[in-house]
Amino acid sequence: MSKRTLIRNVHLFDPANGHDGPGGVVLYGDRIVAVFGGDSAIAADADVVIDGQGATLLPGLIDSRVHLSEPGLEYRETVGETARLAARGGISTVIAQPSTAPAIDRPQAVYAVSHRSQGGKGARMQTLGALTVGCEGKELAELGLLAEAGALGFSNGTAPVGPLDTISRALNYARSTGLTVCLGQMDAVWGEPGVIGGELAARMGLGGIPALAEVMSIERDLRLVEMTGVQAHFDMVTSAEGVNAIRDAKARGLPITAGTGIAHATLTDIAIGDYRTHAKLHPPLRPDRDRLAVVQGLADGTLDTLVSDHRPIDTDHKRVPFEQAEPGMVGLETFFSLALSLEDRGVSKARLISALTSAPARVFALESGIRPNAPADLTLADLDRPRRLSEARLHSRCRNFNYEGIPARGVVLKTYVGGKLVFERA
């Protein structure tokens, strides 16, 4: 039988619902049933009372770009492990990319993602459906069936859909489902991922991908959005030119949203250093002018969402020559602290929390927020507690990590998913 749980003596912070002050909430079953301001929560009727000791209570964080290793590469990380790592990072909902092996291009695969995360302590796992069969960019997947199975939207993973007639048919099909399509992936014709084209690539003797590759992909897809009217989300905008293209498209009233990854807001191509494969990402890290533009895009709302782009890669596929290394880094456990660091770089706390909660909820039509009858997905955190990021403290099996020894702040104390406590810091 469900019990009424009161979480009191917290600082409620939810910009989307106008909360920024002391208060408390009452949970019953999987819902928030009451929200109180000030000290009035003390008198609330409850079976269980939890004292938040002045910590900040946020809507559960939503990470809308995570790469699963299961199916296909379970030795790196299972779906259940991904869910538990996300909960440690204060994330209540994970939205996975469909580019697994095999790809999430069938209804059974959509069911499997949520099923494999059930029964354990972890985040709610949901997924996008593949836009094309196998994410190969050739044959359309059954988007209607994927939508019926619970896919939150569609993506082709990190690969673009090549032929224009194929992608235009895909977008028209996707529009009929009412779901969002993630676009903007760079064409592989520009070369292997890993480093930005230009002086650095030339000095290192690597084939680089110019920023032009990103903006050309974005501008092509913006034209297709304009033609089809589909709701589109450009989830990994990483260049100054890309941010400007999105800003202009929004000013024209196109039905789009956009986001970026935490690495592209906090690191530059200098992190590659002496061929550091942990810093080989896709899209690649870029010069500081691009990082500054991305941060400004988050600050002014041009970029709606911020994601971890979590992608676990084992040592055998990272500690190899740079050209052979797989791109990606782990990020679920440190995502929140790194996001908070952007407050020191000009992004307001309200914008940051919106980019991690209400904005991805709006993009993918999810319920979110601290309000009566909302899902009891909550994150309790000490936003000011200092910490030092370290690979040794990670719980992931894979250690492709880029922030060794970096001082940060923000510690997750508890994570609730559907009213259940799925993580509590000891």
For 155, the enclosing helix (H) or strand (E) is: strand 153-155
- pLDDT, tens digit (0-9, with 9 covering 90-100), for 250-266: 999 999 999 999 999 99
Note whether 95 and 32 are same-domain residues: no
Same structural domain, 203 and 299: yes
The torsion angle over the Cα atoms of residues 416, 418, 421 and 424, rounded to 10 degrees, is: -20
Q: Are residues 159 and 193 in the same domain?
A: yes
Residue 217 and residue 99 share a domain: yes
Q: Are residues 176 and 111 in the same domain?
A: yes
Q: Do 319 and 242 sit in the same domain of this protein? A: yes
Residues 42 and 145 in one domain: no
Q: Which of 14, 309, 377, 382 is catalytic?
A: 309
Mean pLDDT for 172-190 is: 86
If one counts the domains in the chain, the total is 2
Whether residue 90 is found in the same domain as residue 212: yes
Is residue 27 assigned to a domain? Answer: yes
Which is more confident, 186 or 326? 326
What confidence tens digit (pLDDT) does each residue in 306-358 have? 999 999 999 999 999 888 899 999 999 999 999 999 999 999 999 999 999 99
Is 392 within a domain?
Answer: no
Q: How far apart (Å, rounded) are the C-alpha atoms in residues 60 and 415? A: 7
Q: How would residue 196 be classed by pLDDT, with cut points 50, 70 and 90?
A: low
State yes or no: is 309 an active-site residue.
Answer: yes
pTM score > 0.85 for this model? yes
Are residues 191 and 225 located together in one domain of the fold? yes
Residue 396 lies in a domain: no
Question: What is the residue range of 92's domain?
Answer: 61-363
- Rounded to an integer, the average pLDDT of 370-394 is 96
Q: pLDDT confidence of 188, banded at 50, 70, 90?
A: low
For residues 217 and 320, membership in a common domain is answered with yes
> Do the domain assignments include residue 251?
yes
pLDDT, position 232: 98
**Domain for residue 390, yes or no?**
no
- d(CA 230, CA 316) in angstroms, rounded, equals 41
Mean pLDDT of the chain: 93
Place of tokens 């009858």: 373
